[in-house]
Amino acid sequence: MSHRPPNILFFLPDQHRPDWLGLNPALPLRTPHIDRLAARGIRFTQAFCPSPLCAPSRAALASGRDYDRCGVINNNDNYPLDQPTYYQALRDAGYRVAGVGKFDLHKSLADPQNLDWHLDGSRLLKEWGFTEGIDNEGKLDGSNAYRLHGGPRGPYLAFLQSRGLAELYVREHEIRKEHMDAYTTVLPDDAYCDNWIAENGLRFLRGFPPGQPWHLVINFTGPHNPMDVTASMRERWQDVNLPLPHDNDHPDKEGLLRNRQNYAAMIENIDRHVGRFIAALRERGELENTLIVYASDHGEMLGDHGRWGKSTWYTPSVGIPLIVAGPGLVQGSASEALVSLHDLTATFLELAGVDPLPEMDAHSLLPILQGRATTHRDIVISGLDDWRMVYDGRYKLVVSSERPPLLYDLTADPYEDRNIADQRPELVSRLREVLAAHTGFVGL
């Protein structure tokens, strides 16, 4: 890379499971821009999140700390303002730090009065380390706050209200279960949340002053439930067949399929915007000095094992897509190295020439990205509330305070159907010791 610190363009959609990309030959997804990004860089096939829930995972990313030390246990906690962030470190080093979309560093669902983003999306941005940005509501957070307060509490619902669409949007969320959480929204394309987020992000990108390094994070609200898509997004997927969820006996097969079709449509819509941002980079003449990252805060069960959303230890929930591309990095490679989302924190800081954050657990990915290493971590750990998971690249142990341990051989049993804890007690003991040494969590 050039002598100037690289720019960083970071796509961080919400709830994107690791196996749902156009790179998966089993799915008819068209994600040409993400595919080309992978061809220009490295795709990590064994990437995981520190916690399969929005607020703790994003807090771990902001701080570079593991779940048990990031200060955010679940969505009832706000990010501790006295805890440093990598955003602050980059800003202090001369970066212009911007972000748009669903940051999820505050909201504290335990206190509905805290569902407030300010109508311009500026609340707490400077405290977190941003030069500028728009922090907007998530899908259900926004409509819940609107109902509670009788009007918008964030920039997206304020935008919808200005268009006369807020009441319709909130009403859709109220009746979403009638459509098995998957439906075609009445919103026009230009009012759809991810499209609005992309426009905001492109406006910031095009306005960055030349000569100053920048970091821009795009926090798409999709492909998060409810699986709402516009009519144009739905048209492409209306008659496309997709594999139904694994181990799911729900009788509404059309509803199951519609959820998956709409989920795919949201991913393809995000891919379209990835292409627009890369085109804008090229127009600015900055493509050759920009690190581009595509990841997610956590995955999505999408009906597998009869479960939806996140918060569980199954791989579709704790796994994430991760693609990193940039000048001077290895190109067209798929890495099986074990990595965690918050390793990006250390990577960004090292690339920028900035010292690590205090008490940081993250490990820079640069040795792999530059072709100097093929392995990264011996294990990855994820957890939430009363359970922790440790995975060594083949065996996954899940320890809980409420049930006996679970052990899976992901090589022989990728769907995690067979608990082999009773057959392999020595593995349970070894992995339990490793987990306890890293987290202090012992479980039952």
CATH number at residue 428: 3.30.1120.10
pLDDT at 76: 87
Are 399 and 441 contacting, i.e. CB atoms less than 8 angstroms apart?
yes
Are both 405 and 295 inside the same structural domain?
Answer: no
For residue 390, tell me if it sits in a domain. Answer: yes
> Mean pLDDT across the stretch 363-378?
97
Q: Stretch 4-8: mean pLDDT, rounded? A: 94
pLDDT, residue 127, reads 97
Tell which of 323, 346, 375 closes a domain.
Answer: 375
Mean pLDDT of 396-409: 96
Pairing of strands 339-340, 227-229: unpaired
pLDDT attached to residue 374: 96
Distance CA 378, CA 337 (A): 9
The confidence score (pLDDT) of residue 4 equals 84
Predicted pLDDT at 115 = 83
Q: Are residues 357 and 273 in the same domain?
A: yes
**% residues pLDDT > 90 (the chain):** 95
Per-residue confidence band for 109, with pLDDT thresholds at 50, 70 and 90: low
Position 110 scores a pLDDT of 55
Host domain of residue 407: 386-439
One domain for residues 303 and 411:
no
In degrees, rounded to 5, the angle at the alpha carbon of residue 403 between the alpha carbons of residues 397 and 407 is: 20
User: Is it the case that residue 314 has pLDDT exceeding 70?
Assistant: yes
Bridge partner list, 216:
9, 98
Is residue 444 included in any domain, yes or no? no
Is the domain of 103 the same as that of 140? yes
Residue 1 confidence (pLDDT): 40
Instruction: Point out the domain boundary residue: 324, 355, 375.
Output: 375
Q: Are residues 239 and 303 in the same domain?
A: yes
Any residues with CB less than 8 A from the CB of 311 and at least 6 apart, and which? Answer: 52, 53, 317, 384
Averaged pLDDT, 38-47: 97
Residues 183 and 121 placed together within one structural domain of the fold = yes
Q: What is the pLDDT of residue 108?
A: 59
Mark whether 428 and 357 lie in a shared domain.
no
Asked if residue 70 and residue 160 are part of one domain, the reply reads: yes
Short-list 434, 440, 352, CA closest to 3: 352
For 126, the 3-state DSSP assignment is: helix
Is residue 207 located within the same domain as residue 291?
yes
Supply the pTM of this predicted model. Answer: 0.97
Q: Is 419 exposed, middle or buried (0-12, 13-18, 19+ CB in 10 A)?
A: middle
Asked if residue 396 and residue 367 are part of one domain, the reply reads: no
Whole-number Å distance between alpha carbons of 284 and 289: 11
Largest CA distance in the chain: 62
Whether pLDDT at 2 is above 50? no
pLDDT digits (tens, 9 = 90+) for 253-265: 999 999 999 999 9
Q: Which 3 state secondary structure label does DSSP give 84? A: coil
Residue 282 pLDDT > 60: yes
Q: Of 375, 401, 420, which one is at a domain's C-terminal end? A: 375
CA distance 171 to 203: 30
Does residue 380 lie in a domain region? no
Whether residue 255 sits in one domain with residue 152: yes
Instruction: Read off the pLDDT of residues 184-198 as tens digits, 9 standing for 90 and up.
Output: 999 999 999 999 999
pLDDT in the model for residue 442 = 86
Tokens encoding 202: 């492109």
Q: Which domain CATH number covers 221?
A: 3.40.720.10
Rounded Cα distance between 59 and 347, Å, is 16
Per-residue pLDDT at 113 exceeds 70: no
Q: Locate tokens 């279960």: which residue? A: 177
Task: Examine residue 187 and state whether it is found in any structural domain, yes or no.
Answer: yes
